[in-house]
Amino acid sequence: MWLLAADTTVVDRRIRMLLAHVSDLHLGRDRRTDDAARRLAAALHEGRVATALVTGDVTHRGRLDELARFEEIFRPLLDAGRLIVVPGNHDRLGDDVAGRLMSGARVDVASRPGLHAVRLDSTGPHNRSLVDSHGLLTEDDLAEAVAALDRAPAGALRVLLLHHHLHPLPEDLLAERLATLLGWPSAGELPLGAALLERLRGRCDLVLHGHRHAPSQLVLDRDGPRPLRVLNAGSTTELGRMRLLGARAGAVVLDRWVAIDGAAAAALDRRLRADRAAA
């Protein structure tokens, strides 16, 4: 089981906002998955996570009943505005619930105190077919995402959320390896992904995505004034753990994996509150 590392004492005193990055919940796949989602919702609530950032594939078959299950499980967080969601390719299947997860424009902004989150819908009409799971990124999407990030207020953490990955990643499933072997685009990174990453440097703090079920990270400009962390949460319900990010004054000062049980997240919340009181 993944638990909090023991070396958080120094950085805890600097944290003012606790975020969680979760992805690829696949509600409706089976009972084990749905039970894991319920434990996740409890952990987010009990751990007093300010905002959970969900990067797609909320449902397994894109069905309305699966979306209703997600809304029922996460209702307290949804009602409190503590969940920010983008759709994934699985959400375009079946009843195509992607539009209910993110309606209107392909790029929009969700603001919270200290947080400027730009949502980018990287799905496309081709995702109605399960074998065409690759993402869509256009020149207009790229320009709008950059412009939206540039509207961030001073001192806010700048985050870009999307489902598909911007840079090459190893295939983590047999189907992905087969797609690569056959030259299909399903397993590839987003077109224009490298161009978007280049334009994000110096103007964005976090790029959060999912799609690949194995977690990964890439850090650009690590020693510069504004490092860019590109984080893949993997499939939270499969892994049984979530990524917690602590921020202060627009910078990430804590990055930890914790088990998706209320005890682990609540323990972190108690430590943060005690350290803030003592500071």
Dist. CA 178–CA 42, nearest whole Å = 37
Dist. CA 276–CA 246, nearest whole Å = 13
Dist. CA 209–CA 236, nearest whole Å = 12
**Tens of pLDDT, residues 95-146:** 999 999 999 999 999 999 999 999 999 999 999 998 899 999 999 999 999 9
Dist. CA 1–CA 26, nearest whole Å = 21
Name the band, by pLDDT with cuts 50, 70 and 90, for residue 10.
very low
Domain positions in the chain are 9-278
**Tens of pLDDT, residues 25-46:** 999 999 999 999 999 999 998 8
Confidence (pTM):
0.88
Quote the tokens at residue 158: 């700048």
- SS3 readout for the chain: CCCCCCCCHHHHCCCCEEEEEECCCCECCCHHHHHHHHHHHHHHHHCCCCEEEEECCCECCCCHHHHHHHHHHCHHHHHCCCEEEECCHHHHCCCCCHHHHCCCCCEEEEEECCEEEEEECCCCHHHHCCCCCCCCCCHHHHHHHHHHHHCCCCCCEEEEECCCCCCCCCCCCHHHHHHHHHCCHHHCCCCCHHHHHHHHCCCCCEEEECCCCCCEEEEECCCCCCCEEEEECCCHHHHCEEEEEEEECCEEEEEEEEECCHHHHHHHHHHHHHHHHHC
Buried b (16+ CB within 10 A) or exposed e, 178-201: ebeeeebebbbbbbbbeebbebbe
Residue 3 has pLDDT above 70, yes or no: no
**Tens of pLDDT, residues 214-251:** 999 999 999 999 999 999 999 999 999 999 999 998 99
Pairing of strands 241-248, 17-22: antiparallel
Q: How much is the pLDDT for 57? A: 98
**Tens of pLDDT, residues 141-200:** 999 999 999 999 999 999 999 999 999 987 776 666 666 666 666 778 999 999 999 999
Contact, 20 vs 250, CB < 8 A? no
Q: How much is the pLDDT for 106? A: 98
Class (C level, CATH) for 9-278: alpha beta
Q: How much is the pLDDT for 9? A: 33
* Residue 232 exposed, middle or buried by CB count within 10 Å (0-12, 13-18, 19+): buried
Dist. CA 254–CA 223, nearest whole Å = 16
